[in-house]
Structure 1
C-alpha cells in the first residue's frame, strides 16, 4: 500500500484493484495532479474493500470492474446498499456501452477506461465527482430535515397529484382520522370532506387560483366522527414540470368545541341573570295579588264570585310554580358537591329512574360498560339528573316497540366518554344549533329547560358534550369527563 500526504487537508482516495501494477499507474496519475493534496490507499480484496467503502473513511473510491470471482459492479451495489455515500468511479480495462449504462444506473458517479486514463482526465473526474457529492449530501441533509419535520408534525401534511389523489401523507393523519397510511394512498383528499359544498369550493379555488388558505372544513374520520379542521393547500410544480398539490390540515375540533362551550356558558349566564330579574319583578306584584285575594275571600258570598276567585288563585299558583322552576333551572350549577364515584353507578341510577317509561313504550335497552370502573369527581344527584334528561328525550324521540337505546362508556387516554345513542326521529341541523338554548323546544308542551339544565350541570363539572344527529336515523349524545390522576 502506498500513501501520499501533502501539506493541508488531503482528499482521501481508495483504489480497489486486484492488480498492483494498475494501482501504481492510477496512483501516479493522481499524484501528478497539481495544487491538490491526496492520501491514496490500496485495497485488493473484495471483503476488505467492502468494509472500507461502508465505513465512509474516504472521500472518493476508484473500483476496478474485475475483482476475481466478484465484479466491481457487485461491490458498487453492495456498498451503496450498506450506506456508502462517497462517490464511486468504476474502472475497466475495456469499455462497453452496456457496462457504462449499468454502472451509472447502479449509482456510480463516473465510468473510466484504464487505457484512456491520464492526469487531466482523473483531475476532472475527481473534481466533478466531489462537487456532485457535495451537492447530493446537501440535498439529502435537507431532505432528512424536511422529512423529519413532515413526519413529526402534529398537523396533517399531505402531497397529492393534480387530480387530488394522495401520494404521501404523514402519521398525524392516522391519529386524526384513524385510517392506516396505506388506506390514504390514491384516495382523493376531497373524499374525506363531509360536505359536498366544501368539496366544490376546494376544487374551484385550487383550479382557479392555485392556492387556498385557512379554509374551514368538516372532515369525516374512518369511524364516522366528524372533525372540524382548517386546511391550506397550493398547486406546485416539480423539476419535471408536473403539477402536484401540497397541503396542511390542522385539527380545529378542540378550539371549536371550546368556543361553543364558552358561547353556551355565556348564554346560560345571561339567561340566569334575566330569569332572576324577571322573577323579582313578577313575584312582587304576584304577592300583592295573593294578599288581596286573601282579603277578598271572606267577603265573597255568591258562587260566581267564588268561582272567579278560585280561577285567579290557581293561575297565581301556576305563575309562582313557573317562577320557582325557572329559578331552580338557573341554580343547578351552584353548590356542587363533588365526590369520587363510578360513572357506571350514576348511569345505572339514571336508567332506574327511567325504566318504567322504557317499559311502557317497549324500548329496547342495550348497555355496554368497560371492565374497569370509570371513576370521576361528580355531584351524583345532579349528574344523574343530566343523564336522565338525555334518556327521557331519547325515549320520547323513538317509536313505540321500535326504539333501541344504546348506552355505553368508553375510556380514552385522558377522559371517560358516556354515550347515549337512540334510533329516533333525529334532530334537524337548524334545531341542533339551538339544542341547549334555554326555553327552546320542539315539544308541544315543553319549556325547553331540560337540556339547558343538563348543559348547566355538565359545565359545572368541566365536562363537555357533543351531539350528532341524522334526521330519521337517530341522535347520539357523547359526554366527556376528565379522568382522575
Structure 2
C-alpha cells in the first residue's frame, strides 16, 4: 500500500506525552509522518506562521500560557494549518472554547491509542487536503485570469504603435511626397504586416493553450478543397523556381467532414514551410486514406527536396518559438509558432503531425487526422495531375470590373480575392454584411461602382442573408453571388428567393465561379448596376462629424489624418475627461470612435456616458483585442475595430 506523506507539528512541553503521541501516529499505517517537536508557544507560533505543516497537535497547558492563547495568535498571523487541541482530561467548557478559538478538534491524551484519535487525525488531514486543492485551484484560476489580462494588454500595446507604423506608411505610399522612397516604404509596410501576423500567431497559440479552441466541421468537397490550396500556393513555388505537385496515392472520400478553415491553416503552413526551405526541385502534397476497424484516417504528406532538418532538431520543431536554424544566422523569417499551432490543431482534429528528414536531401511532414466519412462506396482516386490541376491552371477569358468580396475568414477572403483577380477583375474586401453595405454606399457616386458582390452566408454582425435583403431594400441592383458550404436540397432556391442571383458552393471551384460571373456580368447593365440608396441623415457629399477619443498622440494624429482624407471633420480628445469637455461644447456627432484603453476610463464605460450626454449616430470601439458583440450591445456600441486601423477600415464605417 502506498502511504500518504504528512508533516506534523507537535507542540508539547512534556517529552513523555510527545513520545506517546509520536508512537500512536506511527501506528496509522496509511500515512508516513514527518514530525517536528517544539515545547514553547513562541517556537510554535514561529513555525505556524510558515504554514509548512499539514497538521498541528497543540497541548492545552504550555507553562504560563495556554493553548487557547496560541490558537488566537495563530489566527491573527493567518495560519492555515488544522490544529487539534490536546487536553489532560475531558472538559466540555474547555473543548467548546478550543473549537471557538479555531481548533478543528480536541483529543484527551488518554485516547492516543483509541480509534477516536486516529479518526481525528485522518479527518484533519483530509480537511487540509481539500483546502490545499481549493487554494491551488484558486491560484491557477487567478494565474489564468492574469495571463488573459496580460495578453489583452500586450495585444493593445503592440497594436497601437503598429497602427502608426502601417498607417503612416500607407499614407506616404498613396501620396506624392516620397515617390523616390516607395521601395523602402513597401519594405516597412511588408515587415509591419509580418509583425502583425506574428502577434496574431502568439494570441492564437494562447487560445489553444487555454483550451478555448473550437472546431466547426462541415461537409467539404475534397478535390475542390485541395485544388484551392494548390492554386493559392503555386505562385509562391513558381517564384522560387520550384514546382508544387498535388498527388493522390489511394482512394479517398469524395466528401470529407472537417473544419475547412483550420484544416486549410495547417496544410498551408506545412506546404508554405516546405516552399520556404526549398531552393530547387519540388514540393509535393500527397493525400491518402487509411481505414482500420471502420475508422478512416486522412493522410497528408508534404514532401520537399529542401535543406532538411538535423536529427537533433526534430524533437523540438513542434515546440513554440523553436526554429531549425540559429536565430542569428538563419535566413528565413518567423517566430517558430506555425508548426506549434499546426500540431495543436492536428491534435484537436483527432490526429497529429510527424516528420522524417535528412539534411541536404529534404523532409516529409505527415499530417494525420480522423475522418467521420468512412463509407468506402464514396471513395475514389483523385486525378489532380492529369485533369483537375490543368483546369485550375488553364487560361480563362478575362473579365472587367470591380468585385466586392465579403467573408469574415481572412484566409478565405484572400483565396477568393486571388481567384477573382486572376480573372482580370479588381477586388475590394469586406469582413461582414455591415461593412459590405457601407462599402457599396461609398462607391455610389464613383465612376466605377461594383460590378458584382461575392458574399459568404455565415458571418458575425450581419450574415449574408440579412445583407442581401438589406442591399435590395436600399436599391442595390448589381449581381450578388452567395458563397456557401450548405448544399442541401432546396438551399439554392431559398437563397435566390432572398435576392441572390447565383449560388457558388464552398470550397470555391474556379471554373464554376468564372462561369457564373461571366454570365451575370454579361447580363448586367453597367449604368444601372447600382442605384442611389435612400437618402440618409448624412447623405452623399455631406461632411461626417467624428469624435475621436485616443490617448496615444501618434495614433490619434494618424487616425485624424485618415478620417480627414475621407472628407470627415474630426475633433480629438485624449481622455474620458477631455471627451466630456468636448461634448459639453458640442453634443451632436455622426460617429464617436473610442479607444478601449484610456488613462482615466475604458471605451466601454465612456460609451455609456456619451449616450447620456450627447447625440451620436454611431459609437464604435477601437481595441487591441476582440470583444464579444454582447458586451458591445450592453454598452450601446454598434461594433468594434481591431487595431491596427487602416484607411480601408475607416472607409468602411464612413
TM-score class, shorter-chain normalisation, is: 0.3 to 0.5
TM-score by length of 1: 0.37
Answer 1 or 2: higher relative contact order, Cα 8 Å, separation at least 6.
2
Larger radius of gyration: 1
TM-score by length of 2: 0.28
